[in-house]
Amino acid sequence: MLRIAIAIAFAALAAGSSAGAQDWPTRPIMMVVPFAAGGPIDTLARILTPGLSEQLGQSVVVENVGGAGGMNGAARVARAEPDGYTFGFGNQGTHVFSRYLYKKPLYNPDTDFTPIGLVVGNSKVLVVRKDLPVNNMKEFVAYARKNESKMQYGSGGGGSATHIACVLLTSKIGAPKITHVPYRGVALAIQDITAGRIDFLCDITSTAQPQIVGGRVKAIATLRKTRSPALPNVPTALEQGFADVDADGWNAFIAPRGTPPAIVAKINAATGKLLDDPVISKRLLSLGLEVPPKQERSPEYLTQLVKDEVAKWGPPITAAIGAK
């Protein structure tokens, strides 16, 4: 009789869980952005939340949790209840870089999350203060080597994608001792580079573009294998004779470990509909963000992407950090 009672109890729990996933959502949903307001991921979130709210039938509210290169925000997601009412953004900083940069990360990026799907790809661009006496990679490298002890570069925080892109850049060009100035979000770093208080920034194209077009900073090189559609007149570092400076990145939705597959599927499907919307996709492309093809939006693809990124970035990050 005890076994029968236990079996009935487990069956009831399973049925309740299934019903809950089918009814979800019945209240507002929290989207955690692991960076300060005003940055590129925050901008992306605020482009997507109105459509997600409409698709899911409940308000999707942005919560900014910055610090530690995105790790604080990702930890907020990892600690949340796996009921679908909290999910957020993951990227290279939260899922790849953190394991190399911190002795005790706040979570295990491989086991503490449920992948939802890839949202966008993004690229980086090397920008310098407008009065820095350089106009291309050759001049920048010569100046950086000569003034290595005096120069400063900014980032959206230690361990962020904008930080590691510059770590790799300075290592590759032979000026690894340039001082890093971390900010609580890349928006603050942009304020300081436009004011001339730091020398350069390996910025995400979507946030750098308005500053470049407005003449407030100078674009030196796109840090990817091909030119960005958003900055077609900015040559790549590769075109200018500097190989292996590929800092392409990505942003993806993640949920706490144990989030029901039915809820994951609903968020994934709603996101896919937005990415297929011509108005949304055009807006993202105009910001230098790349909409992934349908075959690259699944949870399974994201899981493999993280594994591939670990293999890609691990050795150079270890080498670059060791050179500091």
Q: What is the pLDDT of residues 151-163, one digit of tens each?
A: 999 998 888 889 9
Do 187 and 133 have their domain in common?
A: yes
60-64, 105-109, 240-244, 278-282: which has the minimum mean pLDDT?
240-244
Question: Radius of gyration of the chain from Cα atoms?
Answer: 21
In a domain, 24, yes or no: no
- CATH number, domain of 47, equals 3.40.190.150
In a domain, 223, yes or no: yes
Do 183 and 160 have their domain in common?
A: yes
Do 100 and 73 have their domain in common?
A: yes
pLDDT in tens, 272-324: 999 999 999 999 988 778 899 999 999 999 999 999 999 888 887 887 766 55
Do 115 and 63 have their domain in common?
A: yes
pLDDT in tens, 128-147: 999 999 999 999 999 999 99
Do 169 and 232 have their domain in common?
A: yes
Do 190 and 282 have their domain in common?
A: no
In a domain, 17, yes or no: no
Average pLDDT over residues 238-262: 93
Q: Print the domain residue range for 151.
A: 124-247
In a domain, 69, yes or no: yes
Q: Tell me what percent of the residues of the chain surpass a pLDDT of 90.
A: 68
Decide if pLDDT at 5 tops 60.
Answer: no
Specify the DSSP element, H or E, that contains 115.
Answer: strand 113-122
In a domain, 8, yes or no: no
Q: In what order do the strands lie in the sheet with 200-204?
A: 179-182, 152-155, 200-204, 124-129, 217-222
Decide if pLDDT at 66 tops 70.
Answer: yes
Which residue, of 188, 215, 247, is where some domain finishes? 247
| pLDDT score, position 208 | 92
Decide if pLDDT at 116 tops 80.
Answer: yes
| pLDDT score, position 20 | 63
Decide if pLDDT at 68 tops 70.
Answer: yes
Do 113 and 258 have their domain in common?
A: yes
Q: What is the total count of domains within the chain?
A: 2
| pLDDT score, position 114 | 98
Other Cβ atoms less than 10 A from the Cβ of 319: the count is 12
> Number of C-alpha atoms within 13 angstroms, CB side, residue 24?
23
- CATH number, domain of 157, equals 3.40.190.10
Question: What pTM was estimated for this model as a whole?
Answer: 0.80
| pLDDT score, position 12 | 45
Other Cβ atoms less than 10 A from the Cβ of 147: the count is 13
Which residue, of 247, 263, 283, is where some domain finishes? 247
Look at residues 128, 117, 199, 208 and name the one whose alpha carbon lies nearest to residue 161: 208
Q: Which two tokens stand for residue 3?
A: 């076994």
CA angle 248/253/255 to nearest 5° reads: 140
Residue-averaged pLDDT of the chain: 90
| pLDDT score, position 171 | 87
Which residue, of 185, 219, 247, is where some domain finishes? 247
| pLDDT score, position 322 | 62
Do 264 and 317 have their domain in common?
A: yes
| pLDDT score, position 323 | 53
Do 215 and 263 have their domain in common?
A: no
Do 164 and 144 have their domain in common?
A: yes
Do 117 and 259 have their domain in common?
A: yes
Decide if pLDDT at 7 tops 90.
Answer: no
In a domain, 10, yes or no: no
| pLDDT score, position 10 | 46
| pLDDT score, position 6 | 45
In a domain, 232, yes or no: yes
Decide if pLDDT at 48 tops 50.
Answer: yes
Q: 16: pLDDT confidence band, cut at 50, 70 and 90?
A: very low
